[in-house]
Amino acid sequence: MRSMAAHRGRLMHRGGDFQTTRCAAGRDRVRHASVLLILLVAAARMPAAHGIERPADTLIAKEIQHYTKVVARIQGDFLSLIETASDEKRFGLYRTYNRSIGTWGQVDSLQALLELSIAETSPSLEQEARTALKEQASYTQWELGQNIAELETALAENRLSDDMRLHDLLRSVLKEVRIIVNRLSPQP
């Protein structure tokens, strides 16, 4: 008897008896199962995110943001030219400036629709946003093309003289933006 009590005392000294160890393992299993059950219930109650961000959406949005800053600087340069230009040149500069403002308004609308479609989580609302985005992209592409054509005509006729560099820079930037917008418009 004594040896059994001594043996049991050594087990207790090492961290508990067999029964205690077995109960602790059972409690751990119950705890893990409880945590798993809580996670499953929480996952089932969470609304599923349906919005699917296209891989290029974020990149396109960042590119448009970059070019927004570039075009704003160019437009600021046009305003500076307008202030110092002679009366006969002022009209042409205003016209180019106003045209670029109108065109860039369409690009801004396109970017807003892109951000809306990225953020949308409802499948039906996302589809509506994507449809509007494609339609806006088509119109923006046309608007960019018209503005580029006017700038190219003016450059070819050499009507712009000393401000050709600024017109050429605007045309170049608009061409780059048109390539970006092309990725959002429906392909024929």
What would the pLDDT profile of 7-45 be if each residue is shown by its tens digit? 555 555 555 554 555 555 566 666 655 655 555 555 445
Residue 31 belongs to a domain: yes
Residue 130 belongs to a domain: yes
Closest CA to 177 of 78, 115, 81, 105: 105
Residue 52 belongs to a domain: no
Instruction: Give whole-number Cα distances, 116 to 95, 101, 105, 109, in Å.
Output: 32, 22, 17, 11
* Residues 32, 68 within the same domain: no
User: What are the pLDDT digits (tens) for 85-101?
Assistant: 888 888 888 999 999 99
Residue 50 belongs to a domain: no
Give the range of the structural domain holding residue 134, as residue numbers without chain letter: 57-182
Q: What token pair was written down for 2?
A: 């004594």
Please list, in sequence order, all residues whose beta carbon lies within 8 angstroms of the beta carbon of residue 35, skipping any fewer than 6 positions away. none
Position 46 scores a pLDDT of: 44
Count of the separate structural domains present in the chain:
2
Please list, in sequence order, all residues whose beta carbon lies within 8 angstroms of the beta carbon of residue 129, skipping any fewer than 6 positions away. 113, 116, 117, 120
Position 62 scores a pLDDT of: 93
- Which residue bears the tokens 């448009």? 64
Give the DSSP H or E segment for 46: none
Residue 97 belongs to a domain: yes
Give the DSSP H or E segment for 168: helix 164-182
* Residues 39, 67 within the same domain: no
The Cβ of residue 103 has, within 10 Å, a number of other Cβ atoms equal to 22
- For the chain, list residues with pLDDT below 50: 18, 43-44, 46-51
